[in-house]
């Protein structure tokens, strides 16, 4: 597994050509069970493109509509209005028979794995090919390397009940890849796994994306997942996409309130409690200013903090901070406090303007 994990740091495959999936003004409403008519809008006019060859994330809280959105792609759900174009075909317009053959070119993995308990690892992976009517020998030739790829060759005659969660999801991944799909849908695939196993599964997804050039569309409620593997992200809230773009941009400069509050849950995303309680909104004489400095792009590579200390010629107190990686790029957050004296504040502002360091006063502490 080691090489999979280290693969996390690598850049995603280049995005090329027409989008793999295009949502065009998609609306999905459900009838309410009680009244039978008052419709609930799970998806409210969604337009979004999923680029080819990349890992794209859709993030949102539960009930935001992301599950419904991903199910439109393989026709498990039908839109009430709008078009869902997958590799040039409007899935929403297909009948059941055409949809079935379309589904064979789209793999899907699930939060609870959805493996057949009555089948061994091998037979689970073979299932999509059996369904497609492939000969037994061809199936064997196709799936043996896949079981190898997910590292389960030694367990291929085990039943799912004999596997750990991470192993089950690897079976799920091998099964999804069996029909050599052009697109892989991941529905909260790591949400039932522990953090370490999550990293392994994400590493595997990343390897698959890179080595097979497979487009991946994953939905999740975990910012960590988006941060680790996606190159693009769309944030959903109440049936709408409220923000989208390169993962790094969305993470470092979130525009929408939902994105900000979801990011606050990440380490370094918000002030530690003990200091947060002391922060006041307006300066008092003799108090310190509390700032959030964010390092990314060019500013991530330079020794800016020590230079700041030299420029200010006044004590700089480092309160909290993290250095992390988003979509393969370094990113750091540092909370610092220094005297709120106007002369010092002005020197600092000049320094930020010269160096391009992203700094923001979050409050004052005495």
Q: Which residues bind other proteins (CB under 8 A)?
A: 74, 76, 100-104, 106, 108, 110, 112, 114-119, 127-128, 130-132, 159-162, 175, 179, 185
- Taking the complex as a whole, the smallest distance from the CB of residue 25 to other proteins amounts, in Å, to 25
- Taking the complex as a whole, the smallest distance from the CB of residue 219 to other proteins amounts, in Å, to 14
- Taking the complex as a whole, the smallest distance from the CB of residue 77 to other proteins amounts, in Å, to 10
Nearer Cβ to other proteins, position 100 or 284?
100
- Taking the complex as a whole, the smallest distance from the CB of residue 258 to other proteins amounts, in Å, to 28
Helices (H) and strands (E) in the chain, counts: 13, 14
Nearer Cβ to other proteins, position 173 or 233?
173
Nearest-angstrom CA–CA distance, 35 and 17 = 46
Give residue 61's Cα distance to chain centre. Answer: 13
Name the token pair of 169.
């999801």
Place of tokens 């040039």: 88
Nearer Cβ to other proteins, position 115 or 139?
115
Nearer Cβ to other proteins, position 113 or 331?
113
Nearer Cβ to other proteins, position 183 or 263?
183
- Taking the complex as a whole, the smallest distance from the CB of residue 164 to other proteins amounts, in Å, to 9
Phi, psi angle pair for 272, to nearest 5°: -60, 150
- Taking the complex as a whole, the smallest distance from the CB of residue 101 to other proteins amounts, in Å, to 6
Nearest-angstrom CA–CA distance, 45 and 28 = 8
Nearer Cβ to other proteins, position 126 or 271?
126
CA dihedral 154, 155, 157, 161 (to 10 degrees): 170
Nearest-angstrom CA–CA distance, 138 and 97 = 24
Place of tokens 């799909």: 181
Enumerate residues 6+ apart whose C-beta is below 8 A from 72.
23, 26, 28, 43, 78, 79, 84, 91, 92
């Amino acid at each position: 597994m080691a090489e999979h994990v280290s693969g996390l740091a690598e850049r995603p495959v280049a995005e090329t050509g027409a989008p793999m999936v295009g949502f065009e003004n998609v609306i999905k409403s459900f009838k309410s069970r009680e009244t039978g008519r008052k419709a609930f809008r799970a998806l409210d006019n969604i337009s979004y493109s999923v680029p080819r060859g990349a890992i794209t994330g859709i993030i949102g809280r539960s009930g935001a509509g992301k599950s419904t959105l991903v199910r439109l792609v393989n026709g498990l759900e039908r839109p009430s209005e709008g078009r869902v174009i997958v590799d040039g075909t409007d899935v929403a317009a297909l009948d059941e028979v055409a949809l079935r053959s379309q589904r064979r070119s789209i793999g899907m993995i699930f939060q609870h794995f959805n493996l057949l308990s009555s089948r061994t690892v091998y037979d689970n992976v073979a299932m999509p090919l059996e369904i497609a009517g492939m000969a037994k020998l061809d199936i064997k030739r196709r799936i043996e390397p896949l079981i190898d790829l997910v590292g389960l060759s030694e367990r291929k005659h085990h039943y799912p009940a004999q596997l750990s969660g991470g192993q089950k999801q690897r079976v799920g991944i091998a099964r999804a890849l069996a029909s050599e799909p052009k697109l892989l849908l991941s529905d909260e695939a790591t949400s039932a796994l522990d953090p370490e196993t999550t990293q392994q599964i994400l590493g595997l997804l990343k390897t698959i994306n890179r080595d097979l050039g497979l487009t991946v569309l994953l939905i999740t409620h975990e910012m960590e997942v988006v941060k680790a593997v996606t190159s693009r992200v769309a944030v959903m809230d109440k049936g709408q996409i409220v923000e989208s773009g390169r993962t790094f941009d969305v993470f470092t400069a979130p525009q929408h309130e939902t994105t900000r509050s979801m990011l606050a849950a990440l380490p370094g995303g918000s002030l530690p409690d003990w200091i947060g309680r002391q922060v006041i909104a307006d300066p008092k004489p003799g108090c310190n200013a509390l700032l959030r400095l964010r390092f990314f792009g060019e500013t991530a590579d330079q020794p800016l903090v020590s230079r700041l200390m030299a420029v200010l010629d006044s004590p700089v107190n480092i309160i909290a901070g993290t250095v992390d990686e988003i979509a393969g790029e370094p990113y750091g957050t540092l909370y610092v406090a220094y005297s709120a004296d106007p002369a010092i504040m002005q020197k600092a502002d000049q320094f930020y303007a010269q160096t391009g360091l992203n700094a923001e006063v979050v409050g004052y502490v005495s």
